[in-house]
Structure 1
Amino acid sequence: MPAVTEQQTTFPSEGVRPKPRFASIGSPYFGILLAAMSVIVILSNIGASKGVMFGPIVTDGGFFLFPLAYVIGDVISELYGFRVARRAVVSSFVFSAFASLAYWVIIILPGFDDDYGRAKQASIEGALGPVPQIVLASLLAFLAGQLINSWIMVRMKARSGERRLWARLMGSSGLGEFVDTLIFCSIAAPVIGITDIGSFANYVIVGFLYKTLVEYALVPVTSTAIGWLKRREPSYRASGDESLPAAS
Structure 2
Amino acid sequence: MDAPRRHHRYYDLILAAFVVVLLCSNFIGAGKAATLDLPYFGNVTFGAGILFFPIAYFFGDILTEVYGYAYDRRAVWAGFAALAFAAIMAQLVIALPVAPGSYMANYQQGMETVFGNSWRIALASMIAFCCGSFVNSYTLAKMKILTQGRHLWMRTIGSTACGELVDSSLFYMLAFYGLWPINEVLAVAASQYVLKTAWEVLATPLTYWVIGFLKRKENQDYYDIHTDFTPFKLKV
1:48 matched to 2:26: no
Matched letter for residue 59 of structure 1: F
Once the two structures are superposed, the pairs formed by residues 75-224 of structure 1 within 5 Å of their partners are 75-190=62-177, 193-196=179-182, 198-224=183-209
Cα 1:238–1:182 shift into 2, 3 Å: closer
Asked if structure 2 preserves the Cα contact closer than 8 Å seen for 1:25 and 1:80, the reply is no
Counterpart in the other structure of 1:232: 217
Q: TM-score, normalised by structure 1?
A: 0.81
1:32 matched to 2:19: no
Measure how far apart 1:113 and its partner are.
0.9
Q: What's the CA shift string for 1:59-115, capped at 9, x where partnerless?
A: 222111100000000000101111111111111110111111111121112222111
Q: Could you say which structure has the larger radius of gyration?
A: 1
Asked if structure 1 preserves the Cα contact closer than 8 Å seen for 2:91 and 2:116, the reply is yes
Q: Secondary structure at the match of 2:35?
A: strand
Query: Where do 5+ consecutive residues of structure 2 fail to align?
Result: 38-42, 224-236
Q: What's the CA shift string for 1:20-43, capped at 9, x where partnerless?
A: xxxx66223111111111111111
Query: Where do 5+ consecutive residues of structure 1 fail to align?
Result: 1-23, 240-248
Distance 1:195 1:220 in 2: 38
Distance 2:222 2:123 in 1: 40
Distance 2:51 2:211 in 1: 22
Distance 1:130 1:153 in 2: 33
1:59 matched to 2:46: yes
Distance 1:127 1:156 in 2: 40
Distance 2:194 2:45 in 1: 12
Asked if structure 2 preserves the Cα contact closer than 8 Å seen for 1:100 and 1:135, the reply is yes
CA RMSD of aligned residues (A): 1.9
Asked if structure 1 preserves the Cα contact closer than 8 Å seen for 2:65 and 2:221, the reply is no
Matched letter for residue 168 of structure 1: R
Cα 1:123–1:163 shift into 2, 3 Å: same
Matched letter for residue 197 of structure 2: T
Q: TM-score, normalised by structure 2?
A: 0.85
Aligned pair count?
213
Distance 1:57 1:159 in 2: 37
Identity %: 32
Q: What's the CA shift string for 1:130-159, capped at 9, x where partnerless?
A: 111111111111111111110011111112
Matched letter for residue 51 of structure 1: A
Matched letter for residue 43 of structure 1: C
Matched letter for residue 186 of structure 2: A
Asked if structure 1 preserves the Cα contact closer than 8 Å seen for 2:58 and 2:200, the reply is yes
Q: What's the CA shift string for 1:209-243, capped at 9, x where partnerless?
A: 00000011101101110000000004x1799xxxx
| Off by >4 Å, runs of 4+ in structure 1 | none
